[in-house]
Amino acid sequence: MPDVSLTPAKARAPEPAATTRPAEWWVGPIRRAALVVFLAVPVVSLLAQPLAGRLVWTVAIAALPLFIVLVGFHRWRRICPLAFVNQIPVLLRRPGTRRASAWLQANAYYVSFGVFFVSLWIRLIATNGSGPAIAAFFILIALAALLYGVLYTGKTWCNFICPLSFIEKVYTEPHGLRETPNSQCVKCTACKAACPDINEENGYWREVESTAKRFVYFAYPGLIFGFYFYYYVQSGTWDYYFGGRWTNEPGVLASAFLPGTDGATAGFYFMPEAPRALASALTLLVTALLSFGFFRALEPAVGRWLRRRDPETDPLRARHVLLSVTAFASFVTFYTFAGQPTLRLMPWAPQIAGIAFVLVATLFLARRFGRSKQAFAEETVARSLLKRWEWTDVRPPKALHDAYLVHTIRSQERALGYTRLLEIYTEALRESLASGLVTREEVHHLEALRGRLQIKPADHERIMATLAEEERARLTDPARQLSQEKSLQFRSYARALERHLERVLAADDPGADAAVGRLQAEYGITPEEHAVVLEQVLGGERAVASRLAGEVEAVERASRAIAVLDGEPSPAHALLADLLRRRRARSVDRLLGGLSPNSPEAVRTEIRLGLTSEEASRREAALERLIQGAPDSIAGRLRGARGAVSGAGPSPGLPALLREQTGSSDPYARAAALHALALRGEADGATLERLAADEHELVRATAQRARALAGGDGGRGSGPPGPPGIDRILALRAVPIFSMLPLEGLARLAGSSVEAVLVPGTIVCREGETGEEVFVLLEGETEIVRGSGPTEEILGVEGVDGVIGEMAVLDPAPRAATVRAGPRGATILRLAGGDFRDVLGADPKVAEGVIRTLARRLRKTGR
């Protein structure tokens, strides 16, 4: 299975763009400003009809190609308002999960070109000069982007549908005027192969032979020209366009599909009866096809000319040159017309702007001409070499040009040794091949790089043979055949999954198993891919794996301790055993959340029952079922964790176990263990001193009472005054109606209680009086009497753990009888009535216990 922190052959994918974005502080403000402008367009278009067309088409839209070229492809992808709208579901944690179909992926260039074609056609027949039409167009395209974000994963809209998706690449491929941080998603879902957001140039060279790409790039200059040429063939004069009259024609759509009659409604000036909708569509179609035909016919001639100059020319060189020329032609054609109606309002502006536009186009043309697939492959290997820079006395060069890099390597550290050099070269090739940025064929053509590195041909062939074996091994396991995009998707998902598992392991109640399913949907991960990523997340010495192993140890230790405590029953031992069962249940839930979050509930229940069983064989079988299908590394580690506890010899004796529990993280466990030791007379001075300074008040109070026991003062009520210790909680827990109350509720009752020792005959409560206290009998007995003197009648006797006076607290009526200490005296707890009512209302089991007590009392009295 692959290492998801690396590509399949140990090659690390590019770091997420988020790691480089903070340095470009200005991108965020520009993104927000662009979003404000985008949102303002519909409003301004509706409120300022005469200016809407001019502001939108001759200023805002006209500036886009220049802006994209100057800021670069990746920055624009982070700034684009439509991209932001598309990603709103991701921001709301409700991303789409559908993936682009195979047809859409194969025809994405045709689709986006078609959307752009229709957008230009709509401009010519509706939105050029109509404010409401402009507003409707922008709202509809924003809704379309949002809908794709709701339904589809990742940047499906940006990569396959958006009319700008091919334009932004036309003007910036294979890379822009300067290097820019990439724009890959933090949550990569591998929505597109050869994703341009991860590596634009890699996408360019992977698609350079695509028929769809060739058609779109070759047709694009003609489409741009045809759009502006139509203004002339519709009106018969260029003044119609350059004068800007078309920017304020709100009623043009009304006649667009009807035969024309004059210059305002004609389809062609020489054929006015042709509907404008038909004439404009024909103009766009014909000019686009003529452009495609021209560049298509030119490509073989360019290829022959390049081969005459250099017989070793890359076969793709002609295509690259033509794509670069079409980008140049498109840019210059666009800015021959775009923005001119507004620029011409200032006599000096068109000339200056024209010079600037041609200069920018020439710069990016020159930069593109110098690129080749060979150069890209060499730079890719060079980047891998730079990652393994080992010379501390020389900084790695910023330039990726192989001659400079290799010269630096060879001149600065000749003592490296040929063996180490081969290791670095092998790792660089492995990473480059596994990332998908270069192919084996391209590596074989890197003679210049090998020559400068002085790599012998035989060694190169041996390295390539080794890498071929690795590749064949990956081919036998489809899960290991990771593209650069899939590798990034796995790595980003692995980080999110590891954070989730850490939260599960840190939580007392890890009821977040469904979150794994949501994560898989967010990142576009299948259950099979989840298993691949989980292997890496849990493998090795990662903190998550260590904590899972710790939970297995906790389950086994708790089970062994429970067996010892159950062997010598006592209230303190029972409480401590219940606390260990609760701790064990949390560990089991964490193990299920970490290793089996997607299993059917019936399977999870069966595993949970097995792991919480008191039988060692059932626990072992349940662990085996839990780790079934887990990576061998983590499975062996979990078995070893259990074996380390179960194979550590016989369980420790009870005193040793109790001393161990005085160091528990649970304050109730520390207090119960100390109390049990004190009752056995085995609470040593060091333990008492340590727990007397404990952070929890309950433990400190228990330590005070334990000291009293150690001093021989063990009677009830004779201990030191102050907050109640665990003994009072144990006393309340022994009362049947409170036995099922959570410890927190018992602690609250204990904190509001007052212990009292009564001599025989002492009145606890008197008949006819109202009362706000409930009494719990801890020792001795009490008599329940009615009347006084000669008419006194003993109704019954209440023994240890009985509850007295609860009816007067529940019902404001006077008490129905008198309660007094019996002939041997009694020890009672006085509970505040308000706290008793709160407990009664919060826990139905307490209410049921009160009802049973009353029923039993009525039976005794025969009433």
Model confidence band, residue 249 (pLDDT cutoffs 50, 70, 90): very high
Question: According to the model, what pLDDT value does residue 626 have?
Answer: 84
DSSP reduced 3-state for 786: strand
Task: Tell me: pLDDT of 117 over 60.
Answer: yes
Cis amide bond preceding 174, omega within 30: yes
Mean pLDDT of 314-318: 83
pLDDT greater at residue 380 or residue 642: 642
Q: What is the pLDDT, as a whole number, of residue 545? A: 74
**Given this model, what pLDDT does residue 17 score?**
39
DSSP assignments along 805-860, one per residue: SHHHHHS-SPPSSEEEEEEEEEEEEEEEHHHHHHHHHH-HHHHHHHHHHHHHHHHH
Q: What is the pLDDT of residue 648?
A: 67
Question: What are 36-88's pLDDT values in tens digits?
Answer: 999 999 999 999 999 999 999 999 999 999 999 999 999 999 999 999 999 99
Question: CB 519: neighbour CB atoms within 10 A?
Answer: 19
Residue 808 has pLDDT above 60, yes or no: yes
What is d(CA 558, CA 552) in angstroms, rounded to the nearest whole number? 10
User: 98 has which bridge partners?
Assistant: 152
pLDDT top residue among 564 and 485: 564
What is the sign, positive or negative, of the torsion defined by CA atoms of 630, 635, 638, 642?
A: positive
Task: Kindly report the average pLDDT of the chain as a whole number.
Answer: 81
Specify whether the CB–CB gap between 821 and 764 falls below 8 A: yes
What pLDDT, on a 0 to 100 scale, did the predictor assign at position 440? 64
Average of per-residue pLDDT across 756-762: 89
DSSP one-letter code for 683: -
In this prediction, residues 716-731 reach a mean pLDDT of 66
Closest-CA residue to 710 (of 733, 734, 732, 686): 686
**What is the per-residue pLDDT for 169?**
93
- 541 confidence band (pLDDT: 50, 70, 90): low
692: phi then psi, degrees, rounded to nearest 5 = -65, -20
Tell me which of 126-135, 442-451, 756-765 is least confident.
442-451
- Flag the least confident range among 47-51, 80-84, 93-97, 127-131: 93-97
Whether the per-residue pLDDT at 2 is higher than 60: the answer is: no
> What's the pLDDT score for residue 636?
81
Does 4 have pLDDT greater than 80?
Answer: no
C-alpha pair distances (Å), 381 with each of 12, 55, 406, 432, 453: 13, 47, 11, 6, 12
Describe the crossing of helices 571-595 and 601-611 by its angle, rounded to 10 degrees. Answer: 140
What pTM, to 2 d.p., does this model score? 0.62
> Among 724, 759, 744, which residue's Cα sits nearest to residue 830?
724
In this structure, are residues 169 and 217 in contact, taking their beta carbons and an 8 Å threshold? no
Measured from the Cβ of residue 366, the count of other Cβ atoms closer than 10 Å reads: 12
In order, the DSSP letters of 694-741 are -SSHHHHHHHHHHHHHHTT--STT-S-SSS--HHHHHHHHHSGGGTTS
What does the pLDDT read at residue 8? Answer: 35
Q: What pLDDT score does 20 carry?
A: 39
Name the residue with higher pLDDT: 774 or 441.
774
Question: pLDDT band for position 742 (50/70/90)?
Answer: confident
Identify the weakest region by mean pLDDT among 46-50, 94-98, 507-511, 627-631.
507-511
Considering only residues 302 and 450, tell me which one the structure prediction assigns the higher pLDDT.
Answer: 302
Under 8 Å between Cβ of 191 and 100? yes
Whether the CA torsion 811, 816, 821, 822 is positive or negative: it is: negative
Which pLDDT value is given to residue 513?
54
567-585 pLDDT, tens digit per residue, is 888 888 988 998 898 888 8
pLDDT score recorded for residue 54 = 94
Contacts of 325 (CB under 8 A, 6+ apart): 295, 365
- Which ranges in 236-275 belong to alpha helices (H)? 239-242, 252-255
DSSP label of 128: S
| Lowest mean pLDDT segment, chosen from 2-11, 166-175, 249-258 | 2-11
The pLDDT value recorded for residue 11 is: 35
Say which residue, 628 or 528, is predicted with more confidence.
628
Instruction: Name the residue with tokens 């054929």.
Output: 271
Q: What is the pLDDT of residue 61?
A: 94
Residues 6+ apart with CB under 8 A from 477: 1
DSSP label of 539: S
Confidence of residue 404 (pLDDT cuts 50, 70, 90): very low
What proportion of the chain, given as a percentage, has pLDDT over 90?
31
pLDDT digits 0-9 by tens, 187-218: 788 888 888 888 888 889 889 889 999 999 99
Query: Which tens digits make up the pLDDT trace of 672-696?
Result: 999 888 888 888 888 888 998 888 8
pLDDT more than 70, % of the chain: 79
Report, as an integer, the average pLDDT of 11-20: 38
- The mean pLDDT value for 441-449 works out to 65
Q: Give pLDDT tens digits for 819-848.
A: 999 888 888 888 887 777 777 676 666 666
Q: Which among 374, 383, 380, 459 is positioned nearest to 423, based on CA atoms? A: 459
Choose the most confident range, by mean pLDDT, from 209-213, 401-405, 410-414, 679-683.
Answer: 209-213
With 70 as the cut, is the pLDDT of residue 266 above it?
yes
List of residues 6+ apart from 536 with CB closer than 8 A: 1, 2, 3, 4, 5, 490, 494
Q: What percent helix, strand, coil does the chain show, rounded to 5?
A: 65, 5, 30
Residue 530: count other Cβ atoms within 10 Å of its Cβ: 21
